[in-house]
Amino acid sequence: MSLYFYPHPLLTKPTVNVDETNRHEILSFIDEARALLSALPSALAIAANQCGRSHRMFITAPGKTTLPEIVVNPKWSYGPYGMELDKEGCLSFPGHNLDIRRYKNVLLDYFDEQGNHSIDEFNGLDARIIQHECEHLDGKTFLQNTDRRTKYRIIEAMRKRK
């Protein structure tokens, strides 16, 4: 399994929900994604489409967040504490850290690896990770949250990187 970098087309396509018909594919993906995350020491999480899969799920690095390690079919809504601006990086945009405005807390509706349903509230960095990874799953990147000048500068730098 390899990591996909912008402008790979899979990064701009919405993912599909996991269901019983593709459950067996998910289990092998989880093992591969865990191995990839462990090889990336600064990584906090990775969305399936960043690894070439179209499943609506993301994996978090164990011990680096309070998020569940496997988040399947996530949906989130923002909480009452407003927004904050903070630096954010992305594995698909190596070397680019941007100031991104995100909600401080979110409510996450999701399934775990065994198919158990949960709804939990997350704050701070965990809320930021959820929003970032769910954007990936929606076929968006953190470039949508920045000004046009920054967006085009990074797009050009990523194209030259190829």
**Residue numbers annotated as active site:** 133
Give the other-Cβ count within 10 Å of 77's Cβ: 10
Residue that has been written with the tokens 């941007």 in this structure: 98
Give the other-Cβ count within 10 Å of 80's Cβ: 7
Residue that has been written with the tokens 């960095």 in this structure: 125
3-class SS of residue 148: helix
- CA-wise closest residue to 71 among 20, 10, 137: 137
> Which residues does 19 contact at the CB level (< 8 Å), separation at least 6?
none
